[in-house]
Structure 1
């Protein structure tokens, strides 16, 4: 593929002139009837792979402009992409330098598409990479999404053209599609080349994803409702992974190919942290038994770890939190013990159907306990890596609101079967178990943000991020992404707003246009509130662990650390070391689209 990229860079202007000489309608006339309905769909998302000089991306974005259709254009040849960016200027097109089979940058966005177009691309994909490529493309489709692939047939692939190309076959493509749950909507007849090359002909195959296409739902349901459970470990692991997929798309370190399909790699420490989060109050506060015997202690509850943190609550086990002193040492040990338990129990016993092959894998590392631990992605990666099949990750990511009630219900039923919980078996007490399994979403709290706002207001005028109106006595701290639908108290999500405007917005999702119009004011607030030097008097609000003035002073930078720690894990497409607020904003726009798509929220 590298040689072809070099060819397209070396010949960018000539190739662009050639491609732009023909219109989208000319090239794709035979499949327009499948593409047009997507352009008429509100907020549709389209992926154009091998976007070249931008001809197709321009048409798709322009035709879908009235419906707020967005296009991600993928082109690995940078010089050709530069021309494409000019072609699509002022349209809703986002360009990424990426390529098959990995599509690493696209998958990091954690979004799915109504339409994926590969025009004059498939012949560049070697046969050995086609199965993986189709699997990747299927995973990127929404249920009902269409995959349109044009096939270049030529009698002189390796002689007349300096590019590396491989023979293609519609039957091969359709068979590969079937294996990943795609069915064929259309296979066109071969057509003459629109550029007049006698040795070249084209046909187009349109594939569609009827549902999630992965078998993930039946598998998850089997583990949740039918699989044997000597304890609640299996349910706990599924729920941890669902919560990470639903709330932390930025937690994905990378994706890898394996014999059993692509896998998603997460920080093992994050899985252990959330494991402790969900068991913490369930055991310490509510004293509910999680095994059939009457021993309240589970394998990860050790004297030097778990039992030294009984004064803590589940809310302390969160990204952006600082532990110091003895608590930090105990937390190190607790996370290590939890990971060992996860590896020895649910990971060992959750296997593929009719197989001994494990579904989840842990590559753990020993971590030396220290007297300070700041919970962010970098820290939590020290414990190693946790991997799961990509199709299961995507099912958790897209359908969390349907899967979680099944897990919670089965967890309640499992606890009721244990003799230690016999006192809850009367129907009127079942609600206590359901309440105990609440994930303890963060409370709607804006106290520290109000304190920071009022401190800044003493020295400089503050403005509503949505209207630019000067804020005085009456103001609100607004959750940009509505708390009622996506509970999140991260610093990046809390913004000063005019009270009247905030009431008008209520629990609606800001439109993409409103969000982009507020960008400069939003970035200014982030910069002045959290990223510049923090005055000494504000540092006391950072953590309840700090006991001395010198330590408070040394920890003032935690606001900035916390801002990026929270953003980099909660928002899609950011690296764990990202420190750019511009990138945070672009990821916020992407997350807005994800919430709109997955929860069908009302827009403001």
Structure 2
């Protein structure tokens, strides 16, 4: 597509598009729409949204079905910014989020780490060159929920001038269906060619509706193959899969970028983060419980070096977390430990995990040498120093969306593998393996609000000394002034998503907090509290001139989707919080408050 043409002719094109209603243009597939709109938490992507006609129709149907404050999200993507401005005006007051993006990369949308019940490409496919179509379909399939529909209208016929000025290409339904079949989509509807609604004799239209039956990527069979069938001379492979699963589940903001490759799009992570989680995972298994991770009699593993791992015996698994600072000899040893873990990951599991019936490796590491220093602050930017880790986007999304089903398989296989080693012979019989299951429980953060309570009390004391009633701290949910009976609430419920990050802990009225309990705030309630939440962040963590501000953003930028590692905007942070709320609602079906 040429954004230049569409920007230069935006007003004329908008008038043309808006002259026909949604029903006139999309009658051939609209029978699938009621079931989608009936889902009060559906998510819809209008890709190539133009002047906003279709996005507006979706949003208005949502209001009609569920009321003004409905939770259906409509994302409208349009690469031509002037045309998008017209569309945004068309949808003013409706729950439509406008973004600038385009196929085949869709980098802005994929960075949101969300999936869709419906994706519509109306008059878009003919702008995709044949060389980009396989990648585009892979990208679209990765954005679909299981059972989600991808609707693509095909324009047949264009003049030579249109081919040049509007960057149009010949399309074919059979080609589209084959590409879809290659990524696990099946054809739900293929219409006959229909006359152009604008009366152009040289143009006809055809609609193809594709559906995602499961995750459709082949990621599940691959993960199962590695976890259950693949040969294991140590627990390295299982450890790597579990590390990636934990990062995908808890730190969607850790994605540095996405890249295209001949075999499909790939997700790029900081290898330093993978190594940090590697150390977190092995720490207690080895140092605390003395469990062998290889068949060898020697319990030492490749990443356990005298000048690194063995100098950190006083640390706990929970110390390997984002936002922590280490100095002196501990910092130097931690640098060396992470470097040794990066090397071990690169030469062991990444080298030996291959595609089934192939010698092609699945995971790739581009590592860098990092000089040890006497101070280390664990954030994304620090962990980027060691280089990059690359994995297939389909595998990342499977971990991201289905962690609660995949992790028990990995843990079960890890128990069986450890029990088979001679160094762990006391656990050989199944009845003795309960202990192994217990020690493999991921070291989650313990629910705590102590640090935030201390900060709240400090601020209250400062206010009382100033006799300043205007700056009273208020309950973020109800706006009530907070006095003695207050609580610190996990905005995203800790029981469902264990997270003690500073951004997630908010001052609330005790009665209100009891009402909320472990429920998820609705999007409406979260947005209504935006000003008070940002005010608390500002006074509690962003005004002090010390490391707490760095820690605040370090925690948020890795835990929440769509943020850059150097983000320092509370507005962007809040947008990411709203997005994470939607992800938790979708993935865990949490009760709302």
- Fold shared by both chains (TM-score > 0.5): yes
Question: Is residue 247 from structure 1 mapped to residue 250 from structure 2 by the alignment?
Answer: yes
Three-state SS of the structure 2 residue aligned to 1:64 is helix
Question: Which position in structure 1 is the counterpart of 2:500?
Answer: 489
| Structure-to-structure mapping, 1:33-112, within 5 angstroms | 33-65=31-63, 66=66, 67-112=70-115
Shift of 1:257: 1.1
Question: Which position in structure 1 is the counterpart of 2:481?
Answer: 470
For 2:336, which of 327, 333, 345 is the aligned residue? 333
Unaligned runs of 5+ in 1: 535-555
Question: Is residue 595 from structure 1 mapped to residue 579 from structure 2 by the alignment?
Answer: no
Question: Which position in structure 2 is the counterpart of 1:527?
Answer: 538
How far apart, in 2, do the equivalents of 1:593 and 1:385 lie? Answer: 29
Three-state SS of the structure 2 residue aligned to 1:351 is coil
Shift of 1:598: 0.5
How far apart, in 1, do the equivalents of 2:158 and 2:305 lie? Answer: 69
Q: Deviations over 1:17-60 (max 9, x none)?
A: 11111111111011100122111112100011001111110011
Question: Which position in structure 2 is the counterpart of 1:422?
Answer: 425
Question: Which position in structure 1 is the counterpart of 2:209?
Answer: 206
How far apart, in 2, do the equivalents of 1:17 and 1:155 lie? Answer: 20
Shift of 1:427: 4.5
Shift of 1:160: 8.2
How far apart, in 1, do the equivalents of 2:165 and 2:310 lie? Answer: 68
Q: Deviations over 1:302-355 (max 9, x none)?
A: 000001111101111011111111111111100000010011110011000111
Q: Deviations over 1:172-212 (max 9, x none)?
A: 11111000101101111111111111111111110001000
Say how many residue pairs are matched. 580
Q: Deviations over 1:476-503 (max 9, x none)?
A: 1000001011000001100001111111
Q: Deviations over 1:524-571 (max 9, x none)?
A: 00011000025xxxxxxxxxxxxxxxxxxxxx2x11111111111110
Question: Is residue 259 from structure 1 mapped to residue 257 from structure 2 by the alignment?
Answer: no
Shift of 1:158: 3.8
Question: Which position in structure 2 is the counterpart of 1:540?
Answer: none
Q: Deviations over 1:289-311 (max 9, x none)?
A: 11112211111000000011111
Three-state SS of the structure 2 residue aligned to 1:356 is coil
1:157–1:165: 8 Å Cα contact kept in structure 2?
no
For 1:181, which of 184, 201, 226 is the aligned residue? 184
Question: Is residue 560 from structure 1 mapped to residue 549 from structure 2 by the alignment?
Answer: yes
2:455–2:540: 8 Å Cα contact kept in structure 1?
yes
How far apart, in 2, do the equivalents of 1:371 and 1:62 lie? Answer: 58
Question: Which position in structure 2 is the counterpart of 1:312?
Answer: 315
Three-state SS of the structure 1 residue aligned to 2:295 is coil
Three-state SS of the structure 1 residue aligned to 2:165 is coil
Q: Deviations over 1:144-164 (max 9, x none)?
A: 000000111115254587312
Q: Deviations over 1:402-431 (max 9, x none)?
A: 000000111111111111112233545422
2:158–2:168: 8 Å Cα contact kept in structure 1?
no
How far apart, in 1, do the equivalents of 2:202 and 2:424 lie? Answer: 76
Three-state SS of the structure 2 residue aligned to 1:573 is coil
For 2:416, which of 413, 419, 438 is the aligned residue? 413
Three-state SS of the structure 2 residue aligned to 1:463 is coil
Question: Is residue 124 from structure 1 mapped to residue 149 from structure 2 by the alignment?
Answer: no
Question: Which position in structure 1 is the counterpart of 2:466?
Answer: none
Three-state SS of the structure 2 residue aligned to 1:265 is strand
Question: Is residue 403 from structure 1 mapped to residue 392 from structure 2 by the alignment?
Answer: no
Question: Which position in structure 2 is the counterpart of 1:575?
Answer: 564
For 2:297, which of 294, 298, 316 is the aligned residue? 294
| Structure-to-structure mapping, 1:261-410, within 5 angstroms | 261-410=264-413
Question: Which position in structure 1 is the counterpart of 2:490?
Answer: 479
How far apart, in 1, do the equivalents of 2:437 and 2:480 lie? Answer: 44
How far apart, in 2, do the equivalents of 1:497 and 1:428 lie? Answer: 47
1:157–1:166: 8 Å Cα contact kept in structure 2?
no
2:162–2:168: 8 Å Cα contact kept in structure 1?
no
